[in-house]
């Protein structure tokens, strides 16, 4: 499945034929949920959640892999058997229990201090940007700012300055800057863990953002190790060109993701 471009129908048929070997790793924002101005208002597209439980009972693994906290994912995409890997895999909720990388716990005071510095910065305060408290990370969102292009450079400089001051990593995304501890983990690491722990031989990643590029890269490595892989990009006005170029299959927004998932439920 990794060689060349496939259609959604062809990909779904191949996955159903070997469903017990498949690990399905799904992004949340822009993939299962339409992009909205208020990140707190993001919810999965109607009909998505009802499909995930049946898929989890048939596939080797179904995981939601996101920069969101695991508890948020577990609350809003609740389905039996699904794994929720939040904060790019540093936090996981499975069967109602949350597991956190201990290095994150140690860094919580530093993240809180950085959040306060962001809150007091002129760029964030004057622009009206929204700060998202992720408990183990903090993110600055500009999606709901009417003149966000005017403020983007100033917020970028402020976020970088504060990240450097507190020794945090800065992860830019679509109209968002996330500051998090320098604890190595990305979506590629999370996908590998799902594959290792499930024993899957076929790995599917569906995503739409810069944060999904490491997951696509992990699939390239897994393919070299003998796994069958499928890189699915979700197109939007904000989807990075490199993600679309690397994809084996491109879907047109969450609506087509929903239809793709429906093809997998037999």
Taking only the tens of pLDDT, the chain with its 266 residues reads: 544 578 999 999 999 999 999 999 999 999 999 887 777 778 999 999 999 999 999 999 999 999 888 999 999 999 999 999 999 999 998 777 889 989 889 999 999 999 999 999 999 999 999 999 988 999 999 988 888 889 999 999 999 999 999 999 998 887 899 999 998 889 999 999 999 999 999 999 999 998 899 999 999 999 999 999 999 999 987 789 999 999 999 999 999 999 999 999 97
Q: Looking at residue 1, what is its pLDDT? A: 55
Q: Give the per-residue pLDDT at 235.
A: 93
Q: Quick one: which of 235, 207, 176, 203 has its CA closest to 29?
A: 207
CA atoms within 13 A on the CB side of 82: 28
What pLDDT is stored for residue 3 in this prediction? 43
pLDDT at residue number 2: 45
- Rounded to 5 degrees, φ, ψ at 183 are -115, 115
What's the rounded Cα separation, in Å, for the pair 215 and 227?
Answer: 14
Closest CA to 53 of 27, 30, 24: 24
Does the annotation count 27 as an active-site position? yes
What's the burial of 225, exposed, middle or buried (CB within 10 Å: 0-12/13-18/19+)?
exposed
The candidate with the shortest Cα–Cα distance to 26, out of 7, 52, 4, is: 52
Q: What is the 3-state secondary structure (H, E, C) of the chain?
A: CCCCCCCHHHHHHHHHHCHHHEEEEECCECCCECCCCCHHHCCCCCCHHHHHHHHHHHCCEEEEECCCCHHHHHHHCCCCCCEEEEHHHCEEEECCEEEECHHHHHHHHHHHHHHHHHHHCHHHHHHCCEEEECCCCEEEECCCCCCHHHHHHHHHHHHHHHHHHHCEEEEEECCEEEEEECCCCCHHHHHHHHHHHHCCCEEEEEECCHHHHHHHHHHHHHHHCCCEEEEEEECCCCCCHHHHHHCCEEECCHHHHHHHHHHHCC
Domains and CATH numbers, the chain: 1-100+212-232+255-266 (3.40.50.1000), 102-181 (3.30.70.1020)
**Of 27, 101, 208, 209, catalytic:** 27
């Amino acid at each position: 499945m990794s060689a060349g471009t496939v259609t959604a129908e062809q990909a779904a048929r191949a996955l159903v034929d070997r469903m017990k070997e498949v690990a399905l790793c799904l992004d949340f924002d822009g993939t299962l949920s339409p992009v909205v101005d208020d990140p707190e208002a993001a919810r999965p597209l109607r009909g998505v959640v009802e499909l995930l439980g049946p898929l989890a009972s048939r596939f080797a693994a179904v995981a939601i892999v996101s920069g969101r906290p695991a508890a948020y994912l577990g609350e809003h995409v609740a389905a039996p058997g699904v794994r929720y890997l939040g904060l790019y895999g540093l936090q996981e909720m499975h069967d109602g229990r949350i597991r956190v990388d201990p290095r994150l716990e140690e860094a919580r005071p530093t993240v809180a201090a950085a959040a306060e510095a962001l809150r007091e910065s002129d760029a964030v305060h004057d622009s009206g940007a929204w700060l998202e408290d992720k408990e183990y990370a903090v993110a600055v969102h500009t999606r709901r700012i009417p003149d966000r292009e005017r403020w983007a450079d100033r917020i970028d400089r402020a976020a970088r300055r504060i990240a450097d001051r507190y020794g945090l990593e800065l992860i830019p995304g679509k109209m968002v800057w996330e500051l998090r501890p320098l604890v190595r983990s990305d979506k590629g690491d999370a996908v590998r863990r799902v594959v290792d722990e499930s024993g899957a031989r076929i790995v599917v990643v569906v995503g739409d953002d810069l944060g999904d590029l490491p997951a696509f890269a992990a699939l390239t490595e897994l393919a070299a190790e003998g796994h069958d892989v499928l890189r699915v990009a979700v197109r939007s006005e904000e989807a990075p060109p490199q993600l679309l170029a690397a994809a084996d299959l491109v879907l047109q927004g969450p609506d087509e993701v929903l239809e793709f998932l429906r093809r997998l439920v037999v």
